[in-house]
Amino acid sequence: MTALPLVIRPEHPDDAPAIERLHARAFGPGRFARTAYRLREGGSPLPDLCLTALVGTYLVGSVRIGSAEAGGGPLLVLGPLTVDPSFSDRGIGTSLMRANLDAARAAGHGLVILVGDAPYYARFGFRPVPPGRLALPGPVDPARFLWLELFDGASAGRYGPVRPLRA
pLDDT in tens, 27-82: 666 554 466 666 667 677 898 999 999 999 999 999 999 999 998 899 999 988 99
Q: Mention every residue, 6+ apart, whose C-beta is less than 8 A from residue 28.
A: none
Cis peptide before 80 (omega within 30 of 0): yes
Q: Is residue 105 part of a domain?
A: yes
Q: Is residue 30 part of a domain?
A: yes
Q: Is residue 113 part of a domain?
A: yes
Q: Is residue 52 part of a domain?
A: yes
Q: Is residue 1 part of a domain?
A: no
Q: Is residue 140 part of a domain?
A: yes
pTM, to two decimals: 0.89
Q: How many domains does the chain have?
A: 1
Q: Which residues pair with 76 in a beta bridge?
A: 67, 112
Q: Is residue 59 part of a domain?
A: yes
> Minimum mean pLDDT among 38-52, 94-108, 122-136, 153-167: which range?
38-52
pLDDT in tens, 15-26: 989 888 887 776
Contact 101, 79 (CB under 8 A): no
What CATH number corresponds to the domain at position 106?
3.40.630.30
The yes-or-no verdict on residue 146 having pLDDT over 90 is yes
How many CA atoms within 13 Å lie on the side-chain side of 22? 23
Domain coverage including residue 138: 6-164
Q: Is residue 136 part of a domain?
A: yes
